Amino acid sequence: MSDFKVHHIHEQVVITANHNKDGSVKYHVCYGEVDWKKDGNKRPAVFILMSYKGRINYQSPAHLTLDAEEETDFEKVYKALTYLKMKYIVNKKYEVRSNHEVSSNS
């Protein structure tokens, strides 16, 4: 049995939620791997977590508000989801590597 957690985050976009005045509630839009059965069957995934006062909460689902004077939480999170999805689809499809990867393989 693998000691790999259910999810492993490779990259995340952190967005301050509109519904709190002090900025302590944030959405974490993440790209990583998930392994629901912890059996080594890792799958790429984009997922949303929330943090409260700097601590990620794994119990409560993210609630995306739809009311705002400007951009809604839903719209901000959707943009982040789209960014991560497209970035990792393009990287996989075209085998994009970072400058660090290119220089270390030379």
Task: Please tell me whether the overall predicted TM-score, pTM, comes out greater than 0.85 for this model.
Answer: no
Cα(65)–Cα(60) distance, rounded to whole angstroms? 15
Residue 42 backbone phi and psi in degrees, to 5: -80, 135
Q: Is pLDDT at 93 greater than 90 in this prediction?
A: no
Q: Supply the range of the domain harboring residue 34.
A: 7-104
Write down the pLDDT at residue 105.
Answer: 52
Percent of the chain clearing pLDDT 90 (strictly above)? 40
Query: Does any domain span residue 35?
Result: yes
Query: Does any domain span residue 1?
Result: no
Q: Domain total for the chain?
A: 1
Give CA separation, 5 vs 19, 59, 64, 87, in Å: 30, 15, 25, 24
Residue 29 backbone phi and psi in degrees, to 5: -90, 115
Q: Label residue 23 by pLDDT band (50, 70, 90).
A: very high
Query: Does any domain span residue 2?
Result: no
Q: CA dihedral in degrees (25, 33, 79, 93; nearest 10)?
A: 160
Give CA separation, 69 vs 17, 19, 25, 46, 73, in Å: 13, 11, 18, 27, 11
Q: What letter represents residue 74's amino acid?
A: F
Strand partners, 33: 8, 44
